Structure 1
Amino acid sequence: MNTNMNLNDISARPRPDELVPSRYALKIGKIDVLVVSDGILPIPAPTIAYNIDPAVRTAWLEDEFLSPETLEWPLNVAVVRSGEQTILVDAGLGADPALHLPRAGQLIHRLEAAGIDLASVTDVVLTHMHMDHIGGLLIDGVKDRLNPDLRIHVAAAEIKFWESPDFSRVSMPQGFPDALRRAAKRFVNEYRSQLRPFEDEHEVAPGVVVRRTGGHTPGHSVVRLASGGDRLTFAGDLVFQVGFDHPDWHNGFEHDPEEAARVRVRLMRELAANREPLVATHLPFPSVCHVAVDGDAFRCVPAVWDY
């Protein structure tokens, strides 16, 4: 993977008021990729695995130097430039005042700090329509700044699901189901004319393909990048930090947890076999890593940062 990049296109300098980097640039062949942090989403730690003994979950969290009470969930978004197209992969959390999440929803000002004009975005790809993937486009004033010809690519099954969403098998923190329903309904109402549904697979731009996987939600999708022999997968919510050690643990936000586990294992085995790098929404920023098989589970092998 070639991580050199023309920084005249996308600046790597952090905002003056930020002490740590919030974006990371890399190149996949001729495709430019910028991983952008949307901030941190604190959730109750039990949400990461509700189908196991709480003592086992607590032991894993402590082994990882994580709090057994509250997990600080990273939120990662990607900006992809291929040919003449600038593609936003997911849109971050935005701001739902009912949930009081001030450390999240940072995407818009971080895009601005990176020199990315919202009007230059030609396409948006949604891995799914949970609030933390669409909310950035629901912030007041954002729609007016977007290209009026913007295309929003999302699986048809995802749009159908949110017409009457089933929350019977999730284990989300209080308030989240209602917030997710509100966000999805508002998103479809506001952006209906710009939605470009696909069935199973769609090429968004040269070397940029979105593929429906299902599992996490019925229309959950991943984005596969390929150019000049390089590869990268943006896995959305198929892979969580705990999913390497325990891919069969059920995350509370999964609408079909058994299918999500099957899809997770299948994808990670593929990435381990072809040595393809991975980026995922809730892995520690910038989340660029490789997957290694470790018996019946996996290991996360972080990529070396290119300064």
Structure 2
Amino acid sequence: MNAIDTLTGQRPATSELVPSRYAVRIGEIDVLVVSDGVLPLPTKMLGHNADAADRTAWLDDMFLPREACDWSLNVAVVRSGAQTVLIDAGLGFDPNLNLPRAGQLVMRLEAAGIDLASVTDVVLTHMHMDHVGGLIVDGIKERLRPDLRIHVAATEIDFWEAPDFTHTAMPQGFPDALRAAAKKFAEEYRDHLHTFEDETEVAPGVLVQRTGGHTPGHSVVRIRSGGEKLMFAGDAMFTVGFDHPDWHNGFEHDPEEAARVRIRLLRELADGGEQLVATHLPFPSVGRVAVVGDTFRWVPTPWDY
């Protein structure tokens, strides 16, 4: 079954009561945003360098719980020419982390009529567990093409040989889980890796650019066709980052550089009118960025039925 032929106009194949995929067309390129579920995490993760009272005030203004809230997990399937590109691979399954509402990607791809064997390329924005975990679930590799190409920054591969967590602020258990997932991924897929230094075009109109910051090899994907543009920003953007782009996220390995990257990308998005999708913005996370004084505003795109 052709993956992109089923991106629109189909009823869900499961009994889920919430939408889990959303289709966007960028010129001649089809993009399907797919939810891998949600991660419940402490709200301190959204700005561990911020004053606690300021963080609480922001959470109250956003009608969010004060102690913990759900982070969306979004991936994307892109069809450009003869290629089907999966951007990130979701969380997968880690029995030590009790995250039952995440790791839904394979089920939801199947519900959209997308066969894993149709994926020609995978782009990894970085190698955190919630971006590579779906590839290391038992039985998944055997369902993928033997000639699958996995694109990731060379710097990212190097970093995970001896990762530094000294500047992160993660919940207990996450550093060990991240190390283990990255190691297992690198071992299982080493022969499929296509590394790049600064940028690479993985399909017509699909350009991957290394930004660094969140991790040394963190990258964004820029999709351009027919005068239309969309950026998949990975973990460069978080909901709080529009109002407080200088707040540090607990998963950032170089939080000061991550803040500089975030501000630069937000300015580019605001100046160019490029659409934005990001891993942890509320599903489907399709929107644009506006400038408000010294900060920014995320403007969600109205759903197109």
Instruction: Identify which of 6, 12, 19 aligns with 1:9.
Output: 6
**Whole-angstrom distance in 2 between the partners of 1:298 and 1:272:** 8
C-alpha deviation, 1:271, in angstroms: 0.6
Instruction: Identify which of 44, 48, 52 aligns with 1:54.
Output: 52
SS of structure 1 residue aligned to 2:17 = coil
Partner of 1:79: 77
**For residues 120-177 of structure 1, what are the alpha-carbon distances to aligned partners after superposition, in whole Å with 9 as ceiling and x for unaligned?**
0000000000000000011110000000100000000000000000000000011000
Amino acid at match of 1:248: D
Is 2:239 aligned against 1:241?
Answer: yes
Instruction: Identify which of 106, 120, 123 aligns with 1:122.
Output: 120
SS of structure 1 residue aligned to 2:92 = coil
**Whole-angstrom distance in 1 between the partners of 2:233 and 2:4:** 25
**Whole-angstrom distance in 2 between the partners of 1:130 and 1:56:** 28
Partner of 1:217: 215
**Whole-angstrom distance in 2 between the partners of 1:47 and 1:68:** 12
Kindly indicate whether the alpha-carbon contact (under 8 Å) linking 1:25 and 1:32 is maintained by their aligned counterparts in 2: yes
Give runs of aligned pairs for residues 19-168 of structure 1, distance below 5 A: 19-168=17-166
Amino acid at match of 2:60: E
Moved more, 230-239 or 7-16: 7-16
**Whole-angstrom distance in 2 between the partners of 1:221 and 1:52:** 26
Instruction: Identify which of 143, 164, 172 aligns with 1:174.
Output: 172
**Whole-angstrom distance in 1 between the partners of 2:263 and 2:217:** 18
Amino acid at match of 1:233: M
Compared with structure 1, are the counterparts of its residues 7 and 153 closer, same or farther at alpha carbon in structure 2 (3 Å cutoff)? closer
In the alignment, structure 2 segments of 5+ residues that lack a partner are none
C-alpha deviation, 1:7, in angstroms: 7.0
**Whole-angstrom distance in 2 between the partners of 1:142 and 1:282:** 24
> What's the TM-score once normalised by structure 2's chain length?
0.98
C-alpha deviation, 1:59, in angstroms: 1.1
Count matched residues.
302
Instruction: Identify which of 251, 270, 277 aligns with 1:272.
Output: 270
SS of structure 2 residue aligned to 1:40 = strand
Kindly indicate whether the alpha-carbon contact (under 8 Å) linking 1:14 and 1:23 is maintained by their aligned counterparts in 2: no
C-alpha deviation, 1:17, in angstroms: 1.1
**Whole-angstrom distance in 1 between the partners of 2:115 and 2:101:** 23
Amino acid at match of 2:6: D
**Whole-angstrom distance in 2 between the partners of 1:87 and 1:167:** 30
Kindly indicate whether the alpha-carbon contact (under 8 Å) linking 1:13 and 1:21 is maintained by their aligned counterparts in 2: no
**For residues 207-249 of structure 1, what are the alpha-carbon distances to aligned partners after superposition, in whole Å with 9 as ceiling and x for unaligned?**
0000000000000000000000010000000000000000000
Please list every run of at least 4 consecutive aligned residues from structure 1 whose deviation after the TM superposition is greater than 4 angstroms.
none
Kindly indicate whether the alpha-carbon contact (under 8 Å) linking 1:14 and 1:20 is maintained by their aligned counterparts in 2: no
C-alpha deviation, 1:20, in angstroms: 1.5
SS of structure 1 residue aligned to 2:6 = coil
> What's the TM-score once normalised by structure 1's chain length?
0.97
Give runs of aligned pairs for residues 256-271 of structure 1, distance below 5 A: 256-271=254-269
**Whole-angstrom distance in 2 between the partners of 1:200 and 1:16:** 40
SS of structure 2 residue aligned to 1:245 = coil
- RMSD over aligned CA atoms reads 1.0
Compared with structure 1, are the counterparts of its residues 276 and 71 closer, same or farther at alpha carbon in structure 2 (3 Å cutoff)? same
Is 2:16 aligned against 1:18?
Answer: yes
